[in-house]
Structure 1
Amino acid sequence: MPLMKRFSRFATAALISLTLGHLILLVSNGAFPRAWGVLLLWCASGLLWSEVLLNSSNRPAMLVFGLGFGYAYTIYLTLLLSYLRGHLSGLAEVVGLDLFAALALSILLRRTSKFSSSHLPNRQHLPRSATIFLAVIVLVGALFRFIWLNYSEFQGDEALAMLTAADVLEGHEDALFLRGKGPAEVLLPTALWSLTGIIDEAAARLPFALAGSLVPLLGFLLAASLLEDHGMTTGIGVVTCALLALNGFMVAFSRIVQYQVLVLFMSGLALWCSWQWQRDGKMRWLALCAFFMGSALLAHYDGLMVFPAIIYVIVTGWHRRRKQEEKAHSLAHIAAALALLCFVTGLFYLPYALDAQAVRTGGYLGERIGNALLKNNLASFQRFNVFYTSFYYYALTGLLVLVFLVWASQHAYGLRRLLWVPRWFSPLLALIVVVLLCWPEIFRTPTLDLAFVPFALLLFGALSSKVLSNGQRAVVLWLAVPFLGYNFAVALPLTHIYTIVPAWTLLAGTVGVSIVHSISFSVGTGTLWHRWPVRLAMVLSCVMAALFAGYLTLAYLRHDVEFLADWPRSSSALYWTPYPSPPSTGFFGFPHRSGWKTVGALYTTGQLQGDYSSNEEPDITAWYTRNAPRACDAYPEHYFIASDVVDAWPVDMSHVHENYEKFGEIRLPNGKSLVVYRTRPAGVALGSLSFEPLANAFDRTAVPSAFARSAHIAHRMEVDLDDIVRLIGYDLNDQRAFPGGRLTVTLYWQALGTTDEDYHVFVHLEQGTSIWAQSDGRPVCWTYPTYVWRPGQIIADHHALHIRTDTPPGEYPVLVGMYRPDDGQRLEVLDAAARPIANAI
């Protein structure tokens, strides 16, 4: 058989993508086109394995599965490579991807025909009209995710993820363990950056935008599988796809370097695979379920929200096996899949659990959960839904979901038997739910908030309904766990309510299509498309889609007026809101630009030197200044003041105007500005600066080494203090080292082991018994005590010494060391033979 005839068109397209990806990486220089080349490599390898594992004519399933498989493999590959000593090599990444693709090719070459053994159960052929609808919906959804992807500057969590990626690439073995989240949101940009060489916002966000563009199509597949016993599966799938494509949470989280779309993409695929196992019982589906579930958990613990639904699907699948031999085989499959899940998640979480950082993460989660047994976050739930998606979207889909729950609860075993209630009890619960959403506090007592009761009863009634199929019940369970958990069990859910979106849209789509279907068949016979209810539903759907799309355009694409930063000027009278102001925190993906790249470019060229302070949060400024020292005191060399900030940092502007001069200003086309102030006398000012040339210069030099923690050590050394910590280098800025001036020192410590002591750092300018300037305290501006340092970690510790005005002219040594604050006992300086020789460096 000729070589190409062994491959389907799908596999041939994957091979072309693999070749094209390599060519782009060979000939292209820009970060964004090279990022597309990297994505082609990821996707091509996944699509080849999709041909191996699915080998189906179901193209939507092949596409979504293949891209998800490529993403998951890249996460695992990059995690393993990050554990190797030294820099993470792009060559290792591309070899790992190519070997993975070559293995799939070798399997395909052994096949005798293109579709010899399909591994997906047969499905009814998708109508051409549905195919066209799906293509249009996915394209429209992709436009909202990709347009102006390069406009917004990194927000705080994005900047932190990218700084961590730089540390991983530069060989900092502890980088992934210093965070309180799963590593996937770091591993994908790490893999991308290792092959592109340079990075910018659009390139870093590209993998997340692509994954977010496929979530709507995944919604269609879930509807086609979980709701296959329903007579209107295709229509429900199309509507679900449209609702996901136009969901504000999905758009926002597709436009940032964060975990949310990865969680939904991977957990949705895990649920889909578990359903395939329930149908045909093949072990491969449970293994794939574990594979995807593991990557979802590596993205974030939010992946657990789908776990009860998966367990339900697996249990019901085991129960439907009639023969004892089949049940025994199924149990073996489940045990093997569970072992695989433990293995793939343990690749990260086992060493993480043994790390000191796990204790801090536990404390962070404890703060998020809170002490009270029951909470009430309904006001937050409504505000976030309306702000991200529009009131129209929230009200329409919420009403449809409520109708579904009332209908299901009408036939509930639990409510009718345990409570002996009449049929109007479910509508009464729905009415109470609506009232609670309008006035969330009405069920609050001095000791307890009972708002959860009607929601829990309604969801319990739906789960125990005798009219629901197993698939529908799994979807309700997928909705119930995050809804009840984040609204009534967690103190600070913020945007984690995004985890309800897939199940929410599946149920809303089910009710919407069912209503149209019921009305259309009650008005007469004839072709479905020619019945007036269907035509009316199409018109109303287009009107609502236009409303949803208009809101998404205002909120995420328009940037002459930025939706969040310029509120309420950015709001429209067409889109009513039940609140006077947006959420105070928890906003992601909205347009925002202040001009920070110009500051980074000026630091790179040396036009800016020394430490700084700013009214923007430290994570953002750390990225854009490339880890320039941020001052602990109120007298840095520079102040960078943005007219709009993501997370405001307190700055006394009267102090700035009194002691600093305006040194430069960046003005953006939308009227926003960033002003650079320099301590008096400022010298020759930079004046008005053009954003685009400096931003391009910043992007051209955005290599990992420019952002890593150890990249800026001017003076390297290795001096140990009592085998506890090592000083590996320092930076010294003495341009204002005069009587009454200020000397800045950045110390680079490396922890040699763990300690329970809270050692303080001292930096003294002294001679004899006279101390002419000093800085004493906890490292990193009193924020990072030594008892949380982990072995091997590098800590940049900035200090400012204010020199006394009566200091005699001359040369003075700068003495550095650590001591216990309770008794003043200093750590000993050790020589090469580990013998103590002094108590200061």
Structure 2
Amino acid sequence: MKKVSNILPVVCLIFVSLWLRLINLGYSNYQGDEIKALYRPQVGQNMIDFLLNQRKGPIQFLITYIMSIFNPEYDNEFLLRLPFAIAGILAIYFFYKFIKLEFNKRIALYSSLFIAINGLFIALTRIVQYQSFVILFSVLTLYLISLSTKFTRWRIYGLYLGMFCWVISILAHYDGIFITPFVIYLIYRWYLDCEPSHKNKQLLYLVLAGTIFLVSISIFYLPFFFSVSESTKAYWLERISKQSVSSTRTFMTYNPLFIIYVYAVLGLLGLLKIKQNFPVVLWLLFPLLVLETLVSNPGTHIYTYILPFSVLMAFGLEVFQSFIYNKFPAKSRYIKSFCLTLLYVPSFLLSHVLFIDNKKEYPWENKRVLFLEIKRQSRQSLFGFPYYRHWEKVGSFLENTGRNGYFITNEKPSITRYYIPKNYKNIELHPYNDKVPGDIYIIFIKNPQNGNKKILDKDQSYWQERYQPVKTFSNYGRVVTTIYRLSSADWQKIVTQ
């Protein structure tokens, strides 16, 4: 019985991680940034030139390149997302192993469950993007170097493998650098643990590991930074200097209702054990200070400090349990079980409703959770939520016309560039040409990802009143995509009004 009680919590962790990351994984159309992560070089462009011309590190593009072997057209969203979801699941497993090694099994379980049911981490593992691999290899870095400080057989292998994983993490995205405080702490501990007579030899190992690390990331990032395009510089500048966007609001979009209050209370309680978790606090402070003071729009990059914050929360939960035991020693076991159930089960159900259930698509629509209503969110940077607008069917519909033509839509250009056949031109980018005649299709999307509710400054009612749809697509009886066909004469009347 005791063996079952020891295994059951880990089984729950595995179940929660798998359920929230794999169920309905292929439901949504690609979202804007997913399409940007696909390996789609221009004609005549080799892989090196393509990778150096991107805004991100090369890992996500290498993954999608490998997946193109099995799905050259990238038309299977589930298959393309699967390696990123698996990376997210493995990240939770190794995070559990790492925290268990550094602290104890209970802290490991609590903190890993917080990550497993956190909406932001769920969302980031349900899309084709770099975050899953940054997290996985960051956690592997910490786990392997931690092993090197605790077990003789891992002392050298753990150090070098850890550095190798850190290189991959940073090659996935610069976010990988944010684990630096804990890495320094582990390496310092590694150095102190060696025999005094071996100090010089151990220092040589460290210098060699550091050199390999720096050379490895420099092989890509030195030419990358020297060849940064003006558009990439403008993108970085915008993220740093644009109007401030609340990280609290970002967090609450992915974790609505009561979640933020639970985090605040448990985080504060966790500080009561700062002597035990001081390295975690240092790890937390580095990305927190950088993103919240130097960057105006941290966006979903806040995951870099929520990861260590989950460990702080686990300590806070342990403090709360100690309080319960001291106050109610006879009934503490039952109170503890009740509190853990009350903490984790509603959070799991909330995440299921937000990310797995797709009858209503939060945050583009209001959604009910039991007797509570979660309000829709009018903001960008929304990833990983259920969102289906039948774009592959829109592309097939236009393809089946057997003609050339034009289109205009209220959705992101990055989405249309992927789903719309090449014989149809975006009329905003390629004005109508009488020498290349064709019909013009108005593709009106309900609740588009970019938040644009108008086409040519005209809302949906304008198009409904004047034109008959040639095709509509619905989700559970709600029309989400409407296509209107205009002649060149109709188009000229509209643009000359």
Instruction: Bin the TM-score by the shorter chain.
Output: 0.7 to 0.9
Q: Give how far 1:296 is off.
A: 0.9
Task: Measure, in 1, the Cα distance between the counterparts of 2:250 and 2:371.
Answer: 18
- Structure 2 residue 107 is matched with structure 1 residue 236: yes
Paired position in structure 2 for 1:354: 226
Counterpart residue identity of residue 267, structure 1 = S
Q: Give how far 1:509 is off.
A: 1.1
CA contact (8 A) 1:617 1:648 kept: no
Paired position in structure 1 for 2:380: 585
- Structure 2 residue 32 is matched with structure 1 residue 150: no
Local SS of the residue matching 2:37: helix
Local SS of the residue matching 1:180: coil
Task: Measure, in 2, the Cα distance between the counterparts of 1:677 and 1:190.
Answer: 36
CA contact (8 A) 1:383 1:583 kept: no
Q: Give how far 1:315 is off.
A: 2.1
- Structure 2 residue 178 is matched with structure 1 residue 305: yes
- Structure 2 residue 9 is matched with structure 1 residue 133: yes
- Supply the RMSD in Å over aligned alpha carbons: 3.1
Structure 2 CA distance for partners of 1:146 and 1:300, relative to 1, 3 Å = same
Paired position in structure 2 for 1:394: 260
Task: Measure, in 1, the Cα distance between the counterparts of 2:20 and 2:280.
Answer: 27
Match for residue 390 of structure 2 among 584, 590, 595: 595
Structure 2 CA distance for partners of 1:168 and 1:245, relative to 1, 3 Å = farther
CA contact (8 A) 1:663 1:678 kept: yes
Counterpart residue identity of residue 337, structure 2 = M
Task: Measure, in 1, the Cα distance between the counterparts of 2:41 and 2:398.
Answer: 18
Structure 2 CA distance for partners of 1:272 and 1:348, relative to 1, 3 Å = same
Counterpart residue identity of residue 66, structure 2 = A
How do residues 633-712 of structure 1 correspond to structure 2 at under 5 angstroms? Answer: 637-649=440-452, 650-652=454-456, 653=458, 662-680=469-487
Gaps spanning 5+ residues in structure 1: where? 1-125, 228-232, 409-461, 525-530, 684-735, 742-801, 803-841
Structure 2 CA distance for partners of 1:548 and 1:356, relative to 1, 3 Å = closer
Paired position in structure 2 for 1:192: 67
Question: Could you list the per-position Cα deviations for residues 703-742 of structure 1 after superposition, in whole angstroms to 9, with x for gaps in the alignment?
Answer: xxxxxxxxxxxxxxxxxxxxxxxxxxxxxxxxx9xxx99x
Task: Measure, in 1, the Cα distance between the counterparts of 2:85 and 2:278.
Answer: 30
Structure 2 CA distance for partners of 1:576 and 1:606, relative to 1, 3 Å = closer
CA contact (8 A) 2:29 2:77 kept: yes
CA contact (8 A) 2:53 2:227 kept: no
Paired position in structure 1 for 2:201: 329
Task: Measure, in 1, the Cα distance between the counterparts of 2:43 and 2:282.
Answer: 38
CA contact (8 A) 2:141 2:162 kept: yes
Paired position in structure 2 for 1:555: 354
Paired position in structure 1 for 2:315: 510
How do residues 285-434 of structure 1 correspond to structure 2 at under 5 angstroms? Answer: 285-323=158-196, 325-357=197-229, 360-370=231-241, 380-405=246-271, 407-408=272-273
Greater percentage in helix: 2
- Structure 2 residue 156 is matched with structure 1 residue 283: yes
Local SS of the residue matching 1:672: strand
Question: Could you list the per-position Cα deviations for residues 308-349 of structure 1 after superposition, in whole angstroms to 9, with x for gaps in the alignment?
Answer: 2212221232234350x4222222122222222223323422
**Relative contact order: is structure 1 or structure 2 higher (C-alpha 8 Å, sep ≥ 6)?**
2
- Structure 2 residue 51 is matched with structure 1 residue 176: yes
Local SS of the residue matching 2:470: strand
Task: Measure, in 2, the Cα distance between the counterparts of 1:663 and 1:672.
Answer: 13
TM-score after normalising by structure 2 = 0.87
Structure 2 CA distance for partners of 1:519 and 1:204, relative to 1, 3 Å = same
Q: Give how far 1:482 is off.
A: 1.5
Counterpart residue identity of residue 444, structure 2 = I
Counterpart residue identity of residue 442, structure 2 = Y
CA contact (8 A) 2:364 2:377 kept: no
Structure 2 CA distance for partners of 1:583 and 1:665, relative to 1, 3 Å = closer
- Structure 2 residue 306 is matched with structure 1 residue 501: yes
How do residues 600-619 of structure 1 correspond to structure 2 at under 5 angstroms? Answer: 600-607=395-402, 609-619=404-414
Paired position in structure 2 for 1:90: none
Q: Give how far 1:203 is off.
A: 0.7
Q: Give how far 1:165 is off.
A: 4.2
Task: Measure, in 2, the Cα distance between the counterparts of 1:621 and 1:557.
Answer: 25
Task: Measure, in 1, the Cα distance between the counterparts of 2:371 and 2:51.
Answer: 45
Q: Give how far 1:257 is off.
A: 0.6
Paired position in structure 1 for 2:435: none
Give the aligned length: 478
Structure 2 CA distance for partners of 1:236 and 1:166, relative to 1, 3 Å = same
CA contact (8 A) 1:134 1:217 kept: no
Q: Give how far 1:602 is off.
A: 2.8
Local SS of the residue matching 1:586: coil
CA contact (8 A) 1:595 1:668 kept: no
Paired position in structure 2 for 1:215: 91
Q: Give how far 1:588 is off.
A: 0.8
Paired position in structure 1 for 2:426: 630
Task: Measure, in 2, the Cα distance between the counterparts of 1:208 and 1:195.
Answer: 15
For the pair shown, the structure with the greater C-alpha radius of gyration is 1
CA contact (8 A) 1:390 1:575 kept: no
Structure 2 CA distance for partners of 1:630 and 1:295, relative to 1, 3 Å = same
Task: Measure, in 2, the Cα distance between the counterparts of 1:194 and 1:480.
Answer: 41
Task: Measure, in 2, the Cα distance between the counterparts of 1:309 and 1:212.
Answer: 21
- Comparing 206-215 with 658-667, which one deviates more in the overlay? 658-667
Task: Measure, in 2, the Cα distance between the counterparts of 1:396 and 1:658.
Answer: 49
CA contact (8 A) 1:390 1:548 kept: no
Local SS of the residue matching 2:426: coil
Question: Could you list the per-position Cα deviations for residues 206-261 of structure 1 after superposition, in whole angstroms to 9, with x for gaps in the alignment?
Answer: 1111122223222321221221xxxxx11111212221211111111111111122
Q: Give how far 1:178 is off.
A: 2.5
Counterpart residue identity of residue 328, structure 1 = N
Question: Could you list the per-position Cα deviations for residues 543-585 of structure 1 after superposition, in whole angstroms to 9, with x for gaps in the alignment?
Answer: 2222112211221112111111113xx14475577xx762512
CA contact (8 A) 1:611 1:638 kept: yes
CA contact (8 A) 1:253 1:261 kept: yes
Counterpart residue identity of residue 262, structure 2 = L
Q: Give how far 1:522 is off.
A: 6.9
Q: Give how far 1:480 is off.
A: 1.0
Paired position in structure 2 for 1:784: none
Question: Could you list the per-position Cα deviations for residues 611-653 of structure 1 after superposition, in whole angstroms to 9, with x for gaps in the alignment?
Answer: 3211101001111114443222675722211123111455123
CA contact (8 A) 2:124 2:132 kept: yes
